[in-house]
């Protein structure tokens, strides 16, 4: 057996034994929370996540992870579902980080439609054999207890679907801390982006190691 073939065999063997993932593609599909709104794109959490994963690749915790960010500021679930299939075809992800719904809630959209749009994107992901990491969002309390409860329920219900994991609240430790928020009170600043990465990583890494 040629030396190059032996090396390839050893790499595959070690990856299998230690649960490492090779050549994983991640699609981040969201709104302004993931699109580095009003801050330099390299300071956004998606780019910071890339850097963290690169470090873990160097430490041999994971291998060969690529991230495509298809997030658009102002995006709704309705807008997202119309372009989702084309993004799936383009990026062929193994994992989809789905971060949509916040603008639906803030605009008081019909939550049945929001649920269906998110469900459709999850189904498209499943049909492409991609796992989904769903980013949970909470509405501000001034929207009323009934509406906020129904909004939260969308994410907890969808997390029960096959191959769907849930980040309970992607802005945990950020949304209620003015130090991490921009003046509009809706979008994280550069400091807040770092916290978001720490919120995402514990749910993403198991998918990279087992997917």
Taking the CA atoms of residue 49, residue 51, residue 57 and residue 63 in that order, the dihedral angle to the nearest 10 degrees is 50
Exposed/middle/buried for 49, CB within 10 Å: 0-12, 13-18, 19+?
buried
Q: Is residue 110 annotated as a catalytic residue, yes or no?
A: no
Whether 210 contacts 19, CB under 8 Å = yes
Q: Which residue in the list 59, 110, 162, 184 is annotated as catalytic?
A: 184
184 is catalytic: yes
- How many helices (H) and strands (E) would you count in the chain? 7, 5
DSSP 211: -
**Per annotation, catalytic residue among 32, 34, 71, 77:** 32
Beta bridge partners of 25: 66
| Residue 138 a catalytic site member | no
Active-site annotation, residues? 32, 184, 187
């Amino acid at each position: 057996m040629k030396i190059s073939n032996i090396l390839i065999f050893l790499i595959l063997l070690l990856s299998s034994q230690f649960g490492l993932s090779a050549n994983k593609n991640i699609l981040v599909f969201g709104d302004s929370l993931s699109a580095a709104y009003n801050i330099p794109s390299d300071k956004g959490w998606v780019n910071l996540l890339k850097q963290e994963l690169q470090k873990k690749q160097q430490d041999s915790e994971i291998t060969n992870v690529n991230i495509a960010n298809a997030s658009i500021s102002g995006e709704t679930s309705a807008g997202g579902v119309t372009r989702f299939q084309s993004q799936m075809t383009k990026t062929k992800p193994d994992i989809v980080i789905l971060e949509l719904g916040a603008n639906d809630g803030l605009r008081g959209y019909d939550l049945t439609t929001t649920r269906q749009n998110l469900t459709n994107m999850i189904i498209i992901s499943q049909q492409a054999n991609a796992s989904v990491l769903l980013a949970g969002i909470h509405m501000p309390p001034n929207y009323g207890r009934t509406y906020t409860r129904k909004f939260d329920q969308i994410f907890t219900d969808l997390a029960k679907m096959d191959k769907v994991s849930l980040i309970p609240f992607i802005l945990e430790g950020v949304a209620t801390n003015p130090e991490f928020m921009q003046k509009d009170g809706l979008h994280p600043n550069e400091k807040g982006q770092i916290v978001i990465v720490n919120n995402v990583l514990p749910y993403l890494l198991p998918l990279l190691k087992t997917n």
